[in-house]
Structure 1
Amino acid sequence: MFKNYVKIAWRNLWKNKGYTFINVGGLALGMAVTLIIGLWIQDEQSHNSYFKNRDSIAQVYQSQTLNGETESGPAIPRPLEKALRDGYDDNFKHLTMCSWTNNHYLKYGETSISRPGNYMQQVGPELFGLEIIRGEKDGLREINSIMLSESTAAALFASEDPIGKTVTVSNEHKLNVSAIYTDIPFNNTFNDTDFIIPWEKYLASNEWIRNAEDQWGNNSFQMFVQLADNTTFDKVTNTIKDVKKNLNEDTAQFNPQIFLFPMKDWYLRNNFENGKQVGGRIKYVWLFGIIGAFVLLLACINFMNLSTARSEKRGKEVGIRKAIGSQRGQLIYQFLSESFLVVLFAFFLAMLLVILSLSGFNELSRKEISFPWDNGTFWLISIVFILFTSLLAGSYPALYLSSFKPVDVLKGTFKVGKYAGLPRKIMVVVQFTVSVAFIIGTVIVMQQINHAKNRPVGYDKEGLIQIPTFSQDFLGKYDLIRTEFLGSGAVVEMSTSSSPTTQIWSNRGGFTWEGKPEGFQEDLAWTEVSPEYAKSLNLKIIEGRDFSRDFATDSLGVLINETAKKYLGMENPVGQLLRDDDEEDPGPSLKIIGVVQDMITQSPYEPVKQGVYVYDRFNNSSYYNLRLNPNHSATQNIVEIERVFKEHFPDIPFEYEFVDGQYGEKFASEERIGTLSGIFTALAILISCLGLFGLTSFVAEQRKKEIGVRKVLGASIFNVWNMLSKDFLKLVITSCFIAVPIAYYVMNGWLQAYPYRVVLQWWIFASAMVGAMLVTLLTVSFQAIKAAKTNPVKSLRTE
């Protein structure tokens, strides 16, 4: 019987090729969008799935309250390690201190490369469950050892066996390769960790880290833990939350709260607001999940609309079948089998579309998603997906068509009823409500991105490059290198800084100044710079003056930004002192010599943070900042800079980054979301238009005799076009008035997450409405004009 149903379904589909094309094409597009969104969501949710102990791993975070506002983050003080090991060790299976991931220079023989890596304690690789493919599992046991990722080992040693070989790190340490581990996959934390060095080496090489052993106020470290069995993150957090406050009076004023941040939340739920976890990228998972569901719904609505629109053509078939004994249940099964066949064809076409578009989608979304051919769960979900879509798309037509009375149909007195077309109209309204809402949402997202892009940056990022200086080789050579670079003609100005231009790496407090409010807890972005910093960035001096090598006292001078001036409450800051409030061992006072224009160093969607720029007395530079000669091409400048660089640092790979490129990365996530939303919106509109096109063709077919009579009586092409178009236009206008308040409510809520945001304007909603109406008219007009130009003789003759 099922075979018979399929055969009849195939004949019906083949007989009506245009209807089949619209149905299969629309469903395939909808299913392709849903499939690719499903793969994207699966990839997002599988982040950190490489780590076998994912469900029991956490990072130690702390919250601190300054002036009534609570901030949370992963930076913790070094003494916390000893406190947790001594008093709370039974809560953890493993605990490891860890440095921040930074690039270092690795050299073996004549090969020199730059790779990111970490310092970790001995248990780190076991905690994260790294897959050791060569060498010792306990690869950090010896202080002069190093563990390399598989790709890094290949880059350094080619076909040689790396185990036991000596690698020079940053031209400073000679370390023996103890183990090779499999590269951590792309969609995992630490995927950019290409080497690991023992924590003990970190301590031995840096005096400031050794000195931080008892410094509870120095939050410069990371800590990761694996829970002991039979406990939970919440239980351990409740146990350890007040450890810092209880052990250190100096920091107790900030009400520090220690808590565990589970690995499963690192990627999707890593936003905190006033000490509370408030989501993160999970909002995009929900967003695209909703988009995928609605796009599939639009495609199913097309199927239902077109099937019910053809009801009169199928009416006699239903009447005859019922007259010769068919039960309603059998008719329902027949129509559902037809739906199943359409959905099956659409699914295979959707798979082909996904496979062809996956490469481009990966490039847009910055993913490495592959089609899951060997994933049994995927195929099981696909079968359920096909059956569900078949039921969703075919249930209403099956129930509607099978309800016809055979006597009325065969006598020719069958009428579809006054309200028979109402469900179809409702579904068209739903389709265009979704489409218009998508249009408005996409426009607002892109407008918010452009709003932030057009925000004054505060410095000239064009023609500015940065060279990392993560090696002892750079110490004491700044003046010489600057002279050489300027003399080459490729650089017009140069400076150093302890942080990259587009980030803040250090924050400090513990100062007092004239007029400081009682109990005020300051938090200042801290950057150490050479005297030429403002000149190299073309940073405008608002008050006072810039650093000068002519004034020896400038070694204790600072520049502050405009926001810091307001933050510190200084009307006339130039000449005022920032004093160290440490009564036992105060440092030298810093004199404010100037105020610089605010520059965006963090998120362009956030307010500029209060910052100070301190004269670099101790060679703490991490970057060279070079202003390229605008009279030469960038390529010509870079070639000349590399030549000079290699003359002085032959063993260090030449690396540089354009600051405007780094700044552009700040918009990358939102731009990807906006672009993908735009593509999905366009596909949703296309699917809606396909359905509208099909509906118009059937309406024109049903009313062809009426059109013929009207033309014989003198109706113009415009009259016929107007008759066929106005009903659809009314439905779309109704959709617009439903979509606008929904879109306003949703997007206004979304914008609240951005302190620096665009203002919603009426023209955005008006443009979306006009656009939807124009698209409707263009879609309907093709069939309407075609019907209006048909020779009335053909439609009025009797066969």
Structure 2
Amino acid sequence: MFKNYLKIAWRNLLKNKGYSVINIGGLALGMAVTLIIGLWVYDELSYDDYFSKKDRIAQVFQSQTFNGETSTGPAIPRPLEMALRDGYADNFKHLVMSSWSNPVYLNYKEKSLSKIGNFMQKEAPELLGLKILKGEKNGLRKVNSIMLSESLAHALFGDEDPIGKVIRANSQYDMEVSAVYEDIPQNNSFSEMEYIMPWEKYLSLFEWIKNAEDQWGNNSFQMFVQIADNASMAQVTSKINDVKKNVSEAEAEYNPQLFLLPMKDWYLSSSFENGKQVGGRIKYVWMFSVIGAFVLLLACINFMNLSTARSEKRAKEVGIRKSIGSQRSQLVYQFLSESFLVVLFAFAIAVLIVLLSLDGFNDLSRKEVVFPWGNPLFWLFSLFFVLVTSLLAGSYPALYLSSFKAVDVLKGTFMAGRYAGLPRKILVVLQFTVSVAFIIGTVIVMQQINHAKNRPVGYDKKGLVQIPVMSQDFTGKYDLMRNEFLASGAVVEMSGSSSPTTEVWSNRAGFNWEGKPEGFQEDLAWTQVTPEYAKSLNLEILKGRDFSREFASDSNAVLINETAMKYMGLTDPIGKFITDDAIEDPFPPLKIIGVVQDMITQSPYEPVKQGIYAYDKHGNTSFYNLRLNPEKSAGENISIIESVFKTHFPAIPFQYDFVDSEYAEKFAAEERIGALSAIFTALAILISCLGLFGLTSFVAEQRRKEIGVRKVLGASVFNVWNMLSKDFLKLVAISCFIAVPISYYVMNGWLQGYPYRVILEWWIFLLAVVGALAITILTVSFQAIKAANSNPVKSLRME
């Protein structure tokens, strides 16, 4: 019986090729979008699945309150380690202190590479469950050992056995390769960690890290833990929060709160607002899941509309089948089998579309999503997906068409009924409600991105290049390199800074100044710079003056930004002093000599942070900031700069970044979301137009005799077009009336996550409404004009 159903279904598909192509094409497009989104969502939700102990691993986070506002992050003080080991050891299986990810220059023979990795305690490989390919599992037990990723080992040693080989790090110290571990896949934390060096080595390299052993106020480290088998995250969090009793009185005023953030939340739910976890990237997972579901629903609605549009043609078939004994259930199975066949073909085409577009999708989303050919669960889900879509798309046409009465159909008195078209109209209203909401949402996302992009950055990022100089080789050579670069003609100005131009690496508190309110809890961004910093960035001095090498006293001077001046309550800050006995003993007062224009160094969607720029008198430069010669091309300038660099540092790889490119990266995540939303919106509109085309076909077919009579009585093509079009414009107008308030509510809520955000303006909604109406007119016009130009003789004759 089922075989017979499929044969008839196949014949009907071949008999009505036009409808079949539209039906299958529309469903294929909707299913392809749903499949791609499904693969993306799966990749997001499976983040960190590489780590077998994912459910037991966590990072220690800390919340601190400054003047009533709570900030949360993973930075913790070094003394916390011993406090946890001494008092709470039973709650942890592993506890690992770690540096932040650091770029290090690695040299072996003639090869020199710059790679990112971490200094970590010896339990790190066990905590992370690294797959050791060569060497010893406990590869961090010796202070001069180094563990390499498989790709880095191959890059340095080729086919040689790396175990036991000695690598020169930062031209300063030798490290012996103790192990090679499998590369951590991209959709995982630590995927960029290409080396691990012992924590003890880290302590031996920097004096300030040794001194931080008992400094509860120095939050410059990370800590990863694996909780004990008999413990839960909530239990351990409630216990370790008691550690705050160890902090000094000065630190206690910031009310530090410790808690564990499970690894499963690192990627998707790591956003905090005033100390509360408020989600994060998970909102995009939900957003695209909803988009995928709606796009598939739109495609299914098309199938319903196109199937019922042919109702009168199928009515006689139903009448004849019923007259010779077919039961309604048999007819339902027949129509569902047609639906299944269409969906099956559509799924095959959808898979082909996904395969052809996956590379482009990966480039756009910066993913490495692969089609899961060998995953039986995927194919099981796909079968379920096809069956559900078949039922979803075919249930209404099957129930509707099988409900026709045989006597009425065969007597020629079949009428669809006054309200027979109502369900289809409701479906089209639903389609365009979704499409208009998508249009509004995409426009607002783009508006928000452009709003942040057009925000004044405060400095001239064009033609500005930064070079990382975090090796001992650069110590004491700033003046030499500045003179060399300026003499080369490729650079018109150069400065040094302890942080990159587009980030803040250090925040400090504990400052005092004249007029500071009692109990005020300050939090200031701290950057050490050379005297040429403002000149190299074209940073405007608003009050006072810039640093000058001619004044020896400037070694104890600072610049502050506009926000800091307001934050500190200083109306006339020039000449005022800032003190902080915690930094040095004795600590000389810092004199404010100038106020610089605010510059965006963190998120462009956030307010500018209050900042201090201190004269770098200790050589803490981590970056060279080079202003390129505008009279030469960027390529020519970079070539000259590289030549000068290699002359002085032949063993160090030449690295540089254009600051405008680094700044553009701050918009990358939102731009990817915006681009994907735009693509899916365009596809949703296309699918909705197919649905509208189906309803137009249905109405034109239902009213063909009326159109014939009107034409015989003298109606023009415009009269017929207007008669058919106005009903559809009403439907779309209703869609807009529903979509506008819904999209306003949703997008206004989305924008609340951005302190610096666009204002929702009326023209955005008007643009979406006008666009939807224009698309409706274009779509309807094809069928309306076709019906208006048809021969009335054919439509009026009795069949």
The interval holding the TM-score normalised by the smaller chain is over 0.9
- Given that 1:541 and 1:595 are in contact with CA atoms closer than 8 Å, whether structure 2 keeps it comes out as yes
Q: Does 1:207 align with 2:207?
A: yes
- Given that 2:500 and 2:623 are in contact with CA atoms closer than 8 Å, whether structure 1 keeps it comes out as yes
Residue 378 of structure 1 corresponds to which residue in structure 2? 378
Q: What is the Cα deviation at residue 795 of structure 1?
A: 3.1
**Cα separation, 2, equivalents of 1:322 and 1:582:** 93
Question: What are the equivalent positions in structure 2 for 1:72-87 lying under 5 Å apart?
Answer: 72-87=72-87
Q: What is the Cα deviation at residue 767 of structure 1?
A: 0.7
**Cα separation, 1, equivalents of 2:703 and 2:406:** 24
**Cα separation, 2, equivalents of 1:646 and 1:585:** 40
Q: What is the Cα deviation at residue 209 of structure 1?
A: 0.5
**Cα separation, 1, equivalents of 2:702 and 2:80:** 79
Structure 2 unaligned regions, length at least 5: none
Residue 363 of structure 1 corresponds to which residue in structure 2? 363
- Given that 1:22 and 1:691 are in contact with CA atoms closer than 8 Å, whether structure 2 keeps it comes out as no
Residue 234 of structure 1 corresponds to which residue in structure 2? 234
Q: What is the Cα deviation at residue 17 of structure 1?
A: 0.9
3-state SS in 2 of match to 1:785: helix
Question: For structure 1, which segment, 564-573 or 722-731, has the greater mean C-alpha deviation from structure 2 after superposition?
Answer: 722-731
Residue 500 of structure 1 corresponds to which residue in structure 2? 500
Amino acid at match of 2:210: R
Question: For structure 1, which segment, 316-325 or 579-588, has the greater mean C-alpha deviation from structure 2 after superposition?
Answer: 579-588
Amino acid at match of 2:324: I
Residue-by-residue CA offset, 1:373-417 (whole Å, 9 max, x unaligned)? 011111111111111111111111111111122112211122111
Residue 147 of structure 1 corresponds to which residue in structure 2? 147
**Cα separation, 2, equivalents of 1:794 and 1:406:** 25
Amino acid at match of 2:97: M
Residue 31 of structure 1 corresponds to which residue in structure 2? 31
Q: What is the Cα deviation at residue 791 of structure 1?
A: 2.9
Q: What is the Cα deviation at residue 582 of structure 1?
A: 4.6
- Given that 2:558 and 2:592 are in contact with CA atoms closer than 8 Å, whether structure 1 keeps it comes out as yes
Q: CA RMSD in A?
A: 1.1
**Cα separation, 1, equivalents of 2:162 and 2:27:** 54
Q: Does 1:602 align with 2:619?
A: no
Question: For structure 1, which segment, 716-725 or 672-681, has the greater mean C-alpha deviation from structure 2 after superposition?
Answer: 716-725
Residue 320 of structure 1 corresponds to which residue in structure 2? 320
Q: Does 1:100 align with 2:100?
A: yes
Q: What is the Cα deviation at residue 794 of structure 1?
A: 3.5
Residue 335 of structure 1 corresponds to which residue in structure 2? 335
**Cα separation, 2, equivalents of 1:780 and 1:629:** 58
Q: What is the Cα deviation at residue 584 of structure 1?
A: 10
Question: For structure 1, which segment, 283-292 or 788-797, has the greater mean C-alpha deviation from structure 2 after superposition?
Answer: 788-797
**Cα separation, 2, equivalents of 1:339 and 1:75:** 57
**Cα separation, 1, equivalents of 2:611 and 2:723:** 67
Structure 1 unaligned regions, length at least 5: none
Q: What is the Cα deviation at residue 245 of structure 1?
A: 3.2
**Cα separation, 2, equivalents of 1:225 and 1:142:** 21
Residue 462 of structure 2 corresponds to which residue in structure 1? 462
Residue-by-residue CA offset, 1:523-552 (whole Å, 9 max, x unaligned)? 000000000000000000000000000000
Residue 737 of structure 2 corresponds to which residue in structure 1? 737
Question: For structure 1, which segment, 260-269 or 722-731, has the greater mean C-alpha deviation from structure 2 after superposition?
Answer: 722-731
Amino acid at match of 2:789: K
**Cα separation, 1, equivalents of 2:274 and 2:758:** 23
**Cα separation, 1, equivalents of 2:509 and 2:220:** 14
Amino acid at match of 2:138: D
Amino acid at match of 1:258: L
Q: TM-score, normalised by structure 2?
A: 0.99
Q: What is the Cα deviation at residue 798 of structure 1?
A: 4.9
Amino acid at match of 2:83: A
Residue 763 of structure 2 corresponds to which residue in structure 1? 763
Question: What are the equivalent positions in structure 2 for 1:220-369 lying under 5 Å apart?
Answer: 220-369=220-369
Residue 416 of structure 1 corresponds to which residue in structure 2? 416
3-state SS in 2 of match to 1:416: coil
Q: TM-score, normalised by structure 1?
A: 0.99
**Cα separation, 2, equivalents of 1:19 and 1:249:** 77
Q: What is the Cα deviation at residue 330 of structure 1?
A: 1.1
Question: What are the equivalent positions in structure 2 for 1:505-584 lying under 5 Å apart?
Answer: 505-582=505-582
**Cα separation, 1, equivalents of 2:648 and 2:251:** 45
- Given that 1:245 and 1:257 are in contact with CA atoms closer than 8 Å, whether structure 2 keeps it comes out as no
Residue-by-residue CA offset, 1:161-208 (whole Å, 9 max, x unaligned)? 111000000101101000001111111111111101000000111111
* Superposed structure 1 runs of 4+ greater than 6 Å apart: none
Q: Percent identity at matched positions?
A: 75
**Cα separation, 2, equivalents of 1:561 and 1:4:** 80
3-state SS in 2 of match to 1:241: helix
- Given that 2:497 and 2:529 are in contact with CA atoms closer than 8 Å, whether structure 1 keeps it comes out as yes
Q: Does 1:709 align with 2:704?
A: no
Residue 683 of structure 1 corresponds to which residue in structure 2? 683
Residue 182 of structure 1 corresponds to which residue in structure 2? 182
| Alpha-carbon distance change, 39 to 787 in structure 1, aligned in 2, over 3 angstroms | same
- Given that 2:424 and 2:695 are in contact with CA atoms closer than 8 Å, whether structure 1 keeps it comes out as no
**Cα separation, 1, equivalents of 2:663 and 2:565:** 25
Q: What is the Cα deviation at residue 11 of structure 1?
A: 1.0
3-state SS in 1 of match to 2:594: strand
Amino acid at match of 2:336: L
Question: For structure 1, which segment, 489-498 or 708-717, has the greater mean C-alpha deviation from structure 2 after superposition?
Answer: 708-717
**Cα separation, 2, equivalents of 1:701 and 1:579:** 85
3-state SS in 1 of match to 2:624: strand
Residue 22 of structure 1 corresponds to which residue in structure 2? 22
- Given that 2:308 and 2:698 are in contact with CA atoms closer than 8 Å, whether structure 1 keeps it comes out as no
Residue-by-residue CA offset, 1:134-171 (whole Å, 9 max, x unaligned)? 11111001111101111111111111111100000010
**Cα separation, 2, equivalents of 1:487 and 1:575:** 36
Residue 127 of structure 2 corresponds to which residue in structure 1? 127
Amino acid at match of 2:482: R
Q: What is the Cα deviation at residue 586 of structure 1?
A: 4.8
Paired residues, what number?
A: 799
Residue 669 of structure 2 corresponds to which residue in structure 1? 669
Residue-by-residue CA offset, 1:725-745 (whole Å, 9 max, x unaligned)? 111111011101110000111
Residue-by-residue CA offset, 1:217-251 (whole Å, 9 max, x unaligned)? 00000000001011100000000113023443331
Q: What is the Cα deviation at residue 372 of structure 1?
A: 0.5
Residue-by-residue CA offset, 1:81-110 (whole Å, 9 max, x unaligned)? 000000000000000000000111000000
Residue 774 of structure 2 corresponds to which residue in structure 1? 774
Residue-by-residue CA offset, 1:591-611 (whole Å, 9 max, x unaligned)? 000000000000000000000
**Cα separation, 2, equivalents of 1:279 and 1:13:** 48
**Cα separation, 2, equivalents of 1:361 and 1:228:** 41
Residue 5 of structure 2 corresponds to which residue in structure 1? 5
**Cα separation, 2, equivalents of 1:538 and 1:195:** 38
3-state SS in 1 of match to 2:779: helix
3-state SS in 1 of match to 2:643: helix
